[in-house]
Structure 1
Amino acid sequence: MAIEVRDGVAVVDGVPRVLVTADYPYYRDDPAVWADRLRAVRDGLGIEVLTCYLPWRHHQPEAGTAPDFTGLTHPARDVTGFLALCHELGLRVVAKPGPFIHAEVNYGGLPDWVCPDADPAFEALLDASGAPSRWADAAAPEGRPLPAPLAPAFLARATEWLSAVGKEVLAGAEAVIALQIANEGVYTSGALPLTAYDYSPSGVAFYRDRLRSWYGTPQAYNAVHGTSHGDWADLEPPTPASGPLAKADWGRCHAEYLAEVYRVWTQATGSGLPVLVNLNPPTVPELDDWLARVRPELWGEICYGFTNWMGVVSADRDAHARYVIAAKRVPGPNLEENWGFSELYDPAYVDGATSFHQSLLALAAGATGFNVYTGVATSGWAPELDAAHAGPYPDCPPIDAEGRATGKAPVVRALADFFSVHGAEFLECEPVRRDAFGLYLPYAGIAALSEGAEGPGCGRPLRAFHERMRARGLDYGLVELESVTARELAAYRSVTVPGGPFMHRRVQELLAAYARAGGLVLVDGPVPALDERLAPCGLITPAAPPPDAGESLVLYGDADAFLRSHPARDVHYLVVLVQSGNEGPIGLRTPYGTVEVVAAQGGGAVLRLAGGQVDDLAIRGINAYLDCAVEAGVRLNGARTGASGPGDLTRINGRLV
C-alpha cells in the first residue's frame, strides 16, 4: 500500500479514499493480546489502517539510556514487534511519535527528565505574565512546567528522540504509511489564548527574528508602527495597550512559530512519509486566537488534520460551530473522533449515535476521513505511564477489553464499509455551496490581544456568518483571503469578509476584481480604507446580501443537511444530521424531489442518490442514551426502504446488511 496526501486527501495506490482509521494504544495492553485485538479491528470493524502514539516516556524513561523499541526492558515497549504484527495481519499504521502526545499519559507523554523542575537546563515555556505553562495530571495535580519547544536543550533531546524513532522504528516498518507530528498544536495548545505562550527567552528571540524577516530594519518597523526602537532587542511582545499592527504581528508570529515547530520535528524523523497534524478545534472565546495561530498555508508538505473533544454537536450549538469551522479550515482528516469515552467526556457517547453523527458531520463539512478513538479498550499499564486511570481505557469503545465486539462495532462497520465502497466517488462530488466567508487573519491577532469586543476581529463575524447560514439550511465555504486565488473565489456567489480599518492592498484588489466579475462582497463592519501599511486604500464597494430564495435542504424536521453532487455524473450524496430534540421524519430537498429520512434523535444518515433513486445508505435508528429507537428508513417518490423494526438501516452494493 503506497500512500500520499494530495490537497488533504489520502491517495492510496493512486486512488483517493476517505481515510477511515482506528486508534489502538498498544502500550496500554498486554503484548499477548495484540494480535487478537488487531484482528478484531480488521475483521469486526472493517478497518485496515490503525493509528497509534509512541509515548516518549514509555520508550525512554531514563535520560542516560537509549530508547527501547524492541521490548528489551519491558514487553510492551516492543513497538517494532507490534508494527511487524500489523504488517503480517495486512494492517497499515499512522505512527504518532509526539514528542508530546497527551492521550491521558502522565506529563503528556514527555519523560520526567525533560521537565524544567527536574533539570534547569531545560528552559520553561512562559506565558504573558512570565509564569511557566504547566501540565497538570494525576501524577502532578499542581502541574509541572513544560519545556520551551525551541530552546536549545529541549530541542536537542526532542530531535534525538524523533531521529531514533525514524532510524530504529520507521526505517524498517513496512506497515507504517504516514506520520502524525505533535498533538493538538504543540502541547495540546493549539486552541489556547495567544497570551498562553511563548514568552520564554527562546520564544521572544523567535518573535524578534520574525520581525526582522518581515520588516528588514528597526527603522522600517518604526515607520509602519509609529515607534522609535533602535534595535530589535528593544521590542517586546505586544500587550492589550499596543497598537493594532503590533497585535497582528504577534498573531502572525504564532502561526509561524507553530509552522517552525512542526518543520523541525518533522525533519528530525528523517522520514519521507506523509506527515499530518491533529489540531484541536477552537474554543468559542478563543476563536480568534485559533484562527491567528492555525495557518496551514505556511506548513509546506505537512498536512492539516483535526480532532473532536469539544462536546456533543447534536445538542450544543457552540460545539457544532467549532466542529464545522475546524473541518472547513482546509481539507484534511478528522484524526480523533470520540468513539469510546463516556465517563471521561460526556455520557452521550455511551451510544454510537453520537459518534456516528459527528463523524458524518466532519465529512460533510469538509473532512477527508475520520478516526475511531479508540477502537479497542485496553488494560494493564503501569502507573508511571498513566496514574489517573485504571482499566479499561476507554470505557465504551467498539471492541471491549476482552476483545469482544460491542454495540458500537456494527455502527463503525456501516460507515467503514460505506466509505470503502463509495469514498472515492464521495470525494469527487463537489459540495453544494454558493457562499463563503473570507478569513482576514490579521484581524484575528488583533482581537485575540484586545480587551472587550471593540475593534476588528475575525472570530465574531465568522461565528455570526456560520449561524446565519445554518439557520438558512445552507452549507458554506471558508477561504483565507491572503492566499486564495481569483479562480477559487469565483466559485462562490458571495464572500463575506470581516470589516475593519485596513486590509492588505492585494486582498482589496482581489475582492474588487471579484466584484467586477459579478461576485458579491459583503462586509461585516466598517469598510477598510487603508492598506496593511496604513496608507490610503479603499478599493472595496460592499454589496447587498443575496435574497433568501428558499434554498434550504431541510424542508421539515430539526436537522442539518449537506449535499454533494458529481460534476460529470448523475450521482449525489446527502448527509443528514438529526438534532437531539427532533421528533418525527426529516424532509429534504434533493435533485430528485423530496426525500424523507427517519433516523434516531442525535443520529444521522448518509445516502447515495443515483439515477433518480436512493442507492446505498447508512442510517442510525437507535440512540439508547436518549431512549430513542425508530425504524430507520428513507422514502423517495412513494418508494420506501426501511428497517423491519426499531433499528439501524445499512445498504452496501445494493444489499441490506
Structure 2
Amino acid sequence: MAIEVRDGVTVIDGEPQVLVTADYPYYRDDPSVWRDRLIAIRDVLGIRVITCYLPWRHHQPTPDGPPDFSGESQGNRDVVGFLALCHDLGIQVVAKPGPFIHAETNYGGLPDWVCPKNNPAIEAVLDSAGEASNWLGDPLPAPLAPLFDGMVTQWLNATGKEVIEPATWPNGPIILMQIANEGIYTSGALPLSAYDYSASALAFYRDRLKEWYGTVEEYDRLHGTAITDWSDVEPPREWTGPARSEELQSYADWGRFHAEYMAEVYHRWSAAVAARVPVVVNLNPPAEHHHSFDDWLARVRPEIWDGINYGFTNWMGVVSANRDSHARYVTAAKRAPGPNLEENWGFSKLYDPAYADGTTSYHQTLLALAAGATGYNVYTGVNTSGWTADLDDVHESPYPDCAPIDENGEATPKAHTLKSMSDFLTLHGAEFLESRPERAGAYGLYLPYAGIAAFSPEGSDAPQLGRSLRAYHERCRAEGVDYALVELQSATVADLAAHGSVTVPGGPFMHRHVQALLAAHLAAGGSVVVDGPAPTLDEELRPCTVLADALPSAPAVVASRVRITHGHADAYLRVHPDRDVAYLTVLTQSDHEGAVCVELDGRPIELITAKGGAALLRLVDGELDDFLVKGINTYLDSAVPAGVKHGDRIHIADHPADLDRVGGRFRVS
C-alpha cells in the first residue's frame, strides 16, 4: 500500500483524502486509558488519524543510556506499544520525533543535557547582538554545530530504527512523519535578526555566499564592497539606511540564508530518521510586528525543500474577531498546498477564552480549508492528566483544559461539531479537493525583497514585500474576492496563466527571468499590477526594463462569482472542473448579528449562523445538497436556529441549534 503527498494532498493507494487528524499526547496519559481515548477519537469524533510527538526528554532523560521506547523505566514511555495499539484499532499515525516539539513541555521537549547552559561545549544559537537565543530562559543549541548535530542524529537514528521503521504503513500505523516544530525551535515567525549568528551558522552562511556568487570579486561588484576573503563577510545585524541597490544586497542575502538554513536543518534531521513515509513540517503563521510578514516569507520557501512537504499551524488569535490574525492565518494557508497540522481545539485558559466553545475553532478550520489547506488537525483531541514534572512542571492538569473528549473520556459539545465535519469530509473530501478555488487573481512573491524589508523601518522607501502583500490581502477582502500566492522565482507561464491578474511588489531590481515571465504573461493576455516602481535592473544590477517596457497603462478588472450582499462575513467558492458541483464556505464574523445574505452567480442564498459561526454548503446542479451550519456559540452568548435558504428550499432548526445534512440525513445538535 502506497502513501504519498501530491501537491500537498495526502494520497493513500491512489486515493486523495482531506487529512483529518487529532493529536493525542500519549506521554501525558496513563497507558491504562490509551485504548479508551483512541476509540473515542475514532468513534466519537470520527477521526481515524492521530498525530503524536515523541518527546526526546521523555524517552531519554539522561545521556548515559539509550532511549526507552518500550516503557521499561516508565509506563507512558512505551510508544512502541502505543503504536501497536493504534494499528490494532485501525488508527493511522503522523509521528513527530522533534527533536524540538514545544507542546508545552519543559525546554520544548529537548533533554536538559543538550542545553548549552549545562554543557558549555554545546554551541548556542545567537541573535544579532551576540546573545544566546533562549527558550523560557534557557539557551538553545545551534542546529548546525557538530556536537549537537551528532546528538540529534543519534536520537533521530534511534527513533527511526526502533519506533518509526517497525511501525511504518502498511505493517504499522505510521503514514507520515513530521520533522521539527513551527520552524526549527518554534522560531519560524521570529525576526531575521533573532538567529542564527553562531559560528556554525555563519560558516554555513559564507559557504552559501560562495555558492551563490562564485568569486569574491563578483560578490564585491554586486555589494559595493572590497573584501578579499569570504571570512571577511559579515551578515547584517541592523538597518543602516542603505541608499544604493548594492547596499541592499546583504539584507536580501540574509533572507535567502534563512530559507536555506531551514531547508538544511530539515534535510539533515529527516535523513537521520530515514523514514519510508512522506515528511511534513508545521510552520507557524507570521507574527504581529510591522515586518513580520517579511521575516516569515524570507524564511519559508517550500520550493527549495526537495521532498519535505509543507504544513502549518494556528496559534495566533481568534480569526473571526481579529483582522491581523485573519491575514496571518490566510497567508499560512495559501503559501503552499498542505494541511493545517495544529488547530487549537482545546486551550481556552492558556491562549484565549473564546476557545472554550468549538465555534471558534470550527470557523478557523473551515477558513483554512477554504483558503487552500488540504487537511486539519484537532489539537488536542483529548484532555490528558497523567504526566510527571520532568516532562512538564508548569501546566496544571488536565492538558488541555477543554478538548472534545474530556479527561474522563467523555464527549463534550465540541465532539458533535467535529463528528459532523469528519463525516462531511469523509463523504465529500476527495471531491472538495478536486474542486478549484474561484479566485480573482494572485499576488506574486519576489522573495529578495522580504529579506530587505525585514530590516527596514516603517515608512522606509526600501523595497517591500510583506506590507505590500498585507495591503493586497485587505483590498481583496474588502472587495469580497479570493486570491492565490505565487512564488515568482520558481513560477512558470502556466502558473501565472491560471490566475489571470497578478500583482507584484515594485522595486529597483528584479531577476531578469522573472521580468521576462511577467512580460510573457502580459503578452498572453494576462494582467500585471506593480505595487511600486517598475524595476530597471536585473539580479546582477545590470540594466533590465523587460517588465517596465511591457506594462500596459491600466490593469484588467476581474469580477467575482460570489459576494456578500448583507452581513459581516467572508465567502469562498470552489468549483469542480468536470461536474456541476460547487462548495461555498461562508464565515460569519464575531460582531455580526442576523442573517448573512450571499449572491452566487446572481442567485441569493440566505444563512442564519451564530456570531463567529460558519457554514459549508455543497451545491449540485445549482441546487443545495449537503451542508454544515453552526448556530451556537456559547462564548459569545449567541444561539440561533441555524438555517439556510437557497431558491425555494428552506432548511432551519426548530430551536437554537446547529443544523447539518450529511449524506442526505439531517442532524440538529
Is 1:581 paired with 2:591?
yes
Is 1:156 paired with 2:156?
no
State the TM-score, normalized to the length of structure 1.
Answer: 0.98
How much does 1:2 deviate?
A: 3.9
CA contact (8 A) 1:255 1:295 kept: yes
Aligned mates of 2:458, 2:41 — CA distance in 1? 49
Aligned mates of 2:615, 2:113 — CA distance in 1? 49
How much does 1:551 deviate?
A: 5.3
Instruction: Report the counterpart of residue 398 of structure 2 in structure 1.
Output: 392
Matches within 5 A, 1:95-494: 95-136=95-136, 143-173=137-167, 174-239=172-237, 240-241=239-240, 243-285=247-289, 286-454=292-460, 455-494=462-501
Give deviations 1:35-67, integer Å, cap 9, x for gaps.
000000001000000000000000000011100
How much does 1:609 deviate?
A: 0.2
How much does 1:284 deviate?
A: 3.2
| Structure-2 change in CA distance of 1:548 and 1:591 (3 Å) | closer
Matches within 5 A, 1:60-71: 60-71=60-71
Aligned mates of 2:559, 2:304 — CA distance in 1? 38
The 3-state SS of whatever aligns with 2:309 is coil
Aligned mates of 1:549, 1:483 — CA distance in 2? 28
Aligned mates of 1:388, 1:116 — CA distance in 2? 22
CA contact (8 A) 2:312 2:340 kept: yes
The 3-state SS of whatever aligns with 2:490 is coil
Aligned mates of 2:599, 2:490 — CA distance in 1? 34
The 3-state SS of whatever aligns with 1:236 is coil
Aligned mates of 2:13, 2:640 — CA distance in 1? 40
How much does 1:224 deviate?
A: 1.3
Match of residue 662, structure 2, among 633, 644, 652: 652
Aligned mates of 2:276, 2:33 — CA distance in 1? 31
Deviates more, 1:562-571 or 1:550-559: 550-559
CA contact (8 A) 1:472 1:552 kept: no
Aligned mates of 1:168, 1:227 — CA distance in 2? 52
The 3-state SS of whatever aligns with 1:342 is coil
Instruction: Report the counterpart of residue 516 of structure 1 in structure 2.
Output: 523
Moved over 6 A (4+): none
Instruction: Report the counterpart of residue 563 of structure 2 in structure 1.
Output: 553
How much does 1:451 deviate?
A: 3.1
Deviates more, 1:68-77 or 1:629-638: 629-638
Instruction: Report the counterpart of residue 532 of structure 1 in structure 2.
Output: 539
Amino acid at match of 2:252: A
The 3-state SS of whatever aligns with 2:392 is coil
Deviates more, 1:281-290 or 1:496-505: 281-290
Aligned mates of 2:558, 2:284 — CA distance in 1? 34
Instruction: Report the counterpart of residue 77 of structure 2 in structure 1.
Output: 77
Aligned mates of 1:591, 1:273 — CA distance in 2? 43
CA contact (8 A) 1:592 1:612 kept: no
Instruction: Report the counterpart of residue 604 of structure 2 in structure 1.
Output: 594
CA contact (8 A) 1:106 1:384 kept: yes
CA contact (8 A) 1:28 1:379 kept: yes
The 3-state SS of whatever aligns with 1:261 is helix
The 3-state SS of whatever aligns with 1:195 is coil
How much does 1:583 deviate?
A: 1.3
CA contact (8 A) 1:579 1:603 kept: yes
Aligned mates of 2:525, 2:128 — CA distance in 1? 46
The 3-state SS of whatever aligns with 1:564 is strand
Amino acid at match of 1:30: D
The 3-state SS of whatever aligns with 2:547 is coil
CA contact (8 A) 2:496 2:521 kept: yes
Aligned mates of 2:13, 2:424 — CA distance in 1? 19
How much does 1:450 deviate?
A: 2.2
Give deviations 1:519-573, integer Å, cap 9, x for gaps.
1110111111111111111122444244475755211111001000011110000
State the TM-score, normalized to the length of structure 2.
Answer: 0.96
CA contact (8 A) 2:438 2:482 kept: yes
User: For structure 1, which runs of at least 5 residues remain unmatched after alignment?
Assistant: 137-142
Amino acid at match of 2:408: E
Instruction: Report the counterpart of residue 140 of structure 1 in structure 2.
Output: none
Deviates more, 1:362-371 or 1:232-241: 232-241
Give deviations 1:132-174, integer Å, cap 9, x for gaps.
00000xxxxxx00000000000000001100100000012110
CA contact (8 A) 2:562 2:600 kept: no
Taking only aligned residues, the RMSD between alpha carbons, in angstroms, comes to 1.1
CA contact (8 A) 1:434 1:491 kept: no
Instruction: Report the counterpart of residue 139 of structure 1 in structure 2.
Output: none
| Structure-2 change in CA distance of 1:595 and 1:415 (3 Å) | same
The 3-state SS of whatever aligns with 1:640 is strand
How much does 1:220 deviate?
A: 1.4
Is 1:626 paired with 2:636?
yes
Amino acid at match of 2:580: D
How much does 1:13 deviate?
A: 2.1
Amino acid at match of 2:65: T
User: Quick one: percent identity of the two aligned structures?
Assistant: 63
Aligned mates of 2:223, 2:382 — CA distance in 1? 55
CA contact (8 A) 1:617 1:650 kept: yes
Aligned mates of 2:199, 2:179 — CA distance in 1? 24
CA contact (8 A) 1:592 1:613 kept: no
User: For structure 2, which runs of at least 5 residues remain unmatched after alignment?
Assistant: none
Aligned mates of 1:545, 1:562 — CA distance in 2? 24
How much does 1:81 deviate?
A: 0.2
Amino acid at match of 1:494: S
Aligned mates of 1:117, 1:254 — CA distance in 2? 25
Amino acid at match of 1:181: I
